[in-house]
Structure 1
Amino acid sequence: MFETINPLLLTSVSPLIGLFYLLLVPKTNVNHCRLAALYSSCVTFILSLLIWIQFNQTSSFFQFCKTINWFSSLNFYYTVGIDGISLFFILLTTFLIILCILVSWESVTYYVKEYLISFLLLEFLLIQVFSVLDLFLFYLYFESVLIPMFLIIGIWGSRQRKVRAAYQFFLYTLIGSLLMLIGLVYIYLNTGTTDLQILWNFNFSETQQILLWLAFFASFAVKIPMVPFHIWLPEAHAEAPTSGSVILAGVLLKMGGYGFLRFSLPMFPIATVYFTPLVFTLSLLAALYASLTTLRQVDLKKIIAYSSVAHMSFVTVGIFTLNTQGVEGSIILMLSHGLVSSALFLCVGVLYDRYKTRILKYYGGLVQVMPLFTIFFLFFSFCNIGFPGTSSFIGELLVLLGSFQSNIFLTFAIAFSIILSAGYSIWLLNRIGFGSLKLTYFTLFQDVSRREFYILLPLLFLILWMGLLPNNFLNEIHFTVSSLLEHCSNS
């Protein structure tokens, strides 16, 4: 039965079906809207698991491909397909959307129907970003993701500066992508196509590669974000609702790393090698700067946001080592960061829902009154450090092994940021969970609810699974990465 069905197409269409159904439901029937969105996202996740089940891990080619004749006169074709790199990003997206809907079950009380429609639309767009094999369509979906995220931050944000943060996020990332649009138009005028599989084999001149690489780099560096293009991220996280921070840190930051792997490396291999020292320098500065900046933050969300900048700098180092260990480590680290940072933002959301503040000085000694919460927060803080047995440890170890082959000085310098990571993670854990209980500010305490417990538990399980059995994930990634690096070296 499954051989006759393309699960990728079903996964892509599923959020749209849920979205159109929500449009028909009266917005006064809030509970029905929530259940419809939850069931739709659960069905989408199950369908994405079918992709994983049917995925051939020994193939380095795109799978579940489908081409639709779009504008054949202009040589535009709607082509979708996935490989080992995009497979897990789709799974991560469909999984986190379920958590986003569950975590906002009680906290979002106005424009509920519109809120749920925004998340289903965001899910559809993200699945398309990770599956389309056409440069123009990728750019279209890549930028369209900004619209629902802009609404989520600007309408359902938690503080007064939410509209300003939404505009800053939207304009900063949109302007960063304008150079990519110019590069895209130039590629189409020179090659006559935007089909990715054709462009991979097109020989651009050295000058063309350098200019086009810079155009694409401007867009992807803002999305990751790399220092000094990171200004929008802490503000967006601080003002976004918990669910917005989860999907922003969990998936949206990964689009930049995915873009480097899918476009910059295979299309512009000469320029990639040429600019590798620049990327290493920026990544090292980002790791050290963001880690030190994290230590002086007082807002819980900004602490996690700056730590995300530091961790994503590890990812860029891994990608540009241009060897198997480094690239595979960067992919594992992106997936791990998607789970760990989402979990930490969920923990901050638990505190904010109860006490309506994220300022660190108001918290302390919560282990005495919220033991379950503290256990979860302790586990995810150790994951953030890269503790052995967790997914982050596997990713960081592979990146360090890859960078050691490329640049020994860089390896020791970037490893120093792990010590800083341990410093701010343990410091934050100690300030929140331990010490004396501050009864001056809060007198009523409530541990994690049953709903919150069942939201956090799958994240804990997945982090341990990826950390203890990494080959379950590396097997799918390996052949794709080997093929990608072979293509780069041959070019």
Structure 2
Amino acid sequence: MSTVPWLTILGLIPLVGALVVAFVPGSAENAKRMAIGFSLVTLVVGIIAATQFDRASSKQFQLGEQHSWIPQFGVSYSLGVDGIALVLILMALVLTPVCLLAAWHDVPEEAGPRGGQRVKTYFALILVLETFMVGVFAATDVFLFYVFFEAMLIPVYFLIGRFGGPRRQYAAMKFLLFSLAGGLIMLVAVIALYLQGPGGTDGFLIERLTGLQMDPTTERLLFVGFFFAFAVKAPMVPFHTWLPDAATESSPATATLLVGVLDKVGTFGMIRFCLQLFPEASQWATPVVVALAVLSVIYGALLAIGQTDMMRLVSYTSVSHFGFIVLGIFAFTNVGHAGSTLYMVNHGFSTAALFLFAAMLVRRRGSKRIPDFGGWQRITPALAGIFLVAGLSGLALPGLSSFVSEFLVLVGSFPTQPVAAVIATAGIILAALYILLMYKKVMTGPKPEGLVGEREHERLDEPARRGLTAVRDLTTREKLVAAPLIAAFVVLGFLPNLALNVINPAVDQTLSHVQKAIPNLNPAGTVAEGSSK
């Protein structure tokens, strides 16, 4: 156990920040600055905590702490991280201040004494969400994980339903109903899993529920209960329909955290719970899960190509990308698992860039419809440049971060799932289509009528300016939003071992649990000679 409760501190700082932002008197502008300040402090503490993580340790979870919470029901307040959880927490800690900075003008102040409070509430809810994101990745008690898993719904529901677009109430309710349905089914499985375990005051700890000897039918039913909740959250086809509505109607910052971080809870849960707690059932379900993963890759990409709403297009690209992640997880190879985990991190940054940069365009044009654009690289060249970089990262261009993770997933999947891996490669071609076609329609072509770049507008004389609207290119704040995201593309593209060296030991630990239950899997995750799958 760690002598310093790093993970509790990481959860408490944004929660305290949310209370300060929401209730301390002051202007909305000061509240925004305080929110970003608290998120940056959380990031710094997270980096310090990460330096205490020992990659060579044989323990599965580090930086841990455990306290009895509800001993009568076997529930503990138990936190800890392995390499997989650590990199996902760090990703969330980086994206939160980026989103807060990008959200500076998301909620316009209204007239009257309550106008500023609306802005404060919005920023406070994002900080509350950050607390729950840390908790859900750090929980090592299954029931505590479930509490955080469901608690995340509360701030997201209000962020969509109160601060979203015209159909925000429909999107928020659809998100809530899908998530609650998955969560309630998982709750039944959580309780049933506890009854299968040794029980006691700490009977929900992951370490006590790993390696249980269960009847095959019972194990499969419990697997289905957990997997359904994670497939909804991920989102996988056919449980994905809530995502495009929620992401399109959300504010850009909410959509970024929803798709970039919260959806990773689904694929993280598959690794942490489905594979580790139900290894034989995971192997049993692999053909169906892999088929759904490949379907998600192809179907999500095809739907993205046909979209005319820019935000909806980005949402469907994520359905396709999550298909790759799930494929790598259920390939049961070290390379596939490492690639999937790195994919979660890289997808978080690339999706954040696409959503936030697209929102910058939408704010200038006043429309999300792709046909309403065209020729914008002539009036906002810097914005066009970073949008292109984000798109190239999304289609996994070599040299950018997503290429490494996508390559690892496909290479790691081929030994055990060759047909699925070959079919999934079509997703790479489709990704090039939906990204480059969107860029072509939005950025290339003749200059839009009535619009002109701000610098060109200043050079024109007064008669020439008549009937023209000046459009400003990237502001200083927007450059600060873009800088860490593009830096992540480049750094993780050329130095992926910065993350992989942390991830790989955790991947080996997870697969060792699977190997114990399925002896015909060798340490590399491939099927041993002379044995059947």
Q: Please state which band the TM-score falls in when normalised by the shorter chain.
A: over 0.9
**Does 2:63 align with 1:53?**
no
Determine the structure 2 residue equivalent to 1:90.
89
Q: How far apart are 1:188 and its partner, in Å?
A: 2.0
Are 1:178 and 2:184 matched, yes or no?
yes
Of 113, 138, 141, the residue aligned with 1:131 is 138
The 2-side partners of 1:155 and 1:74 are apart by: 36
Deviation at 1:353, TM superposition (A): 1.7
> Contact (CA 8 Å) 1:324, 1:481: kept in 2 or not?
yes
- Count residues with an aligned counterpart: 487
Work out which of the residue numbers 278, 281, 303 in structure 2 matches 1:271.
281
Output one character per residue of 1:343-379: Cα deviation in whole Å (capped at 9) or x when no partner.
0000111012222210001111111111100110111
| Aligned equivalents of 2:21, 2:495: Cα separation in 1 | 39
Q: Is the 8 A contact 1:118 1:152 kept in 2?
A: yes
- Of 190, 196, 201, the residue aligned with 2:196 is 190
The answer for the alignment partner of 2:70 in structure 1 is: 71
The structure 2 residue matched to 1:281, chosen from 275, 291, 311, is 291
Instruction: Give the counterpart letter for 1:98 in structure 2.
Output: P
* Counterpart secondary structure, 1:169: helix
2:167 alignment counterpart: 161
Q: Cα offset for 1:29? A: 1.8
Q: How many Å apart are 1:107 and its aligned residue?
A: 2.7
Q: Deviations over 1:159-185 (max 9, x none)?
A: 211111111111111112221111111
CA contact (8 A) 1:362 1:438 kept: no
| Structure 2 counterpart SS, 1:186 | helix
Q: Give the alignment of 1:282-321 within 5 angstroms.
A: 282-321=292-331
**Equivalent position SS for 2:307:** coil
In the alignment, which residue of structure 2 is the partner of 1:464?
490
Q: Give the alignment of 1:424-435 within 5 angstroms.
A: 424-435=434-445
**Cα distance in 2 between the residues matched to 1:393 and 1:432:** 24
Distance apart, 1:4 and its partner CA: 5.2
Deviation larger for 113-122 or 336-345: 113-122
Contact 1:129–1:142 (Cα < 8 Å) also in 2:
yes
Residues 284-307 of structure 1 show CA distances to partners (whole Å, capped at 9, x for unaligned) of: 111111111111100000110001
Instruction: State the partner residue of 1:21.
Output: 20
TM-superposed deviation, 1:394: 0.6
Alignment correspondent of 2:80: 81
Q: Deviations over 1:238-281 (max 9, x none)?
A: 10001111101110110000000110001000010011110111
Instruction: Say whether the 8 Å CA contact 2:196–2:214 is kept in structure 1.
Output: no
1:140 aligns with 2:147: yes
Structure with a larger share of its residues in helix: 1
Inter-partner Cα distance in structure 2 for 1:114 and 1:23: 6
User: Is 1:453 matched up with 2:496?
Assistant: no
Structure 1 position 434, deviation (Å): 1.1
Give the partner amino acid of 1:480: A
Give 3-state SS (helix, strand or coil) of 2:425's partner. Answer: helix
TM-aligned CA deviation for residue 444 of structure 1 = 3.1
Supply the RMSD in Å over aligned alpha carbons. 1.4
Whichever of the two has the greater Rg, that structure is 2
State the identity as a percent.
34
Q: TM-score with structure 1 length normalisation?
A: 0.97
Q: Which amino acid aligns with 1:70?
A: W
The secondary structure found in structure 1 opposite 2:471 is coil
The amino acid across from 2:154 in the alignment is I
Once the two structures are TM-superposed, the CA of residue 201 in structure 1 deviates from its matched residue by 2.7
CA displacement at 1:23 relative to structure 2 = 4.0
> Which residue pairs with 1:120 in the alignment?
127
Deviation at 1:99, TM superposition (A): 1.2
Corresponding position: 1:337 with 2:343: no
Runs of 4+ in 1 over 6 A off after TM superposition: none
Give the unaligned 5+ runs of structure 2: 110-117, 453-468, 518-533
Letter in 2 for 1:447: D
Which AA in structure 1 matches 2:5? N
Give the direction of change, closer, same or farther, for the CA distance of 1:420–1:60 in structure 2 (3 Å limit).
farther
Letter in 1 for 2:418: I
- Whether the 8 Å contact between 1:284 and 1:410 is mirrored in structure 2 is yes
Which of 354, 357, 374 is residue 364 of structure 1 equivalent to? 374
For structure 1, which runs of at least 5 residues remain unmatched after alignment?
Answer: none
Deviation at 1:128, TM superposition (A): 0.3
1:481 is matched with which residue: 507, 518, 533?
Answer: 507
Which residue matches 1:149? 156
> What displacement does 1:35 show?
1.6
Partner of 2:409: 399
| Number of the residue aligned with 1:237 | 247
CA distance in 2 between partners of 1:438 and 1:29 (Å): 38
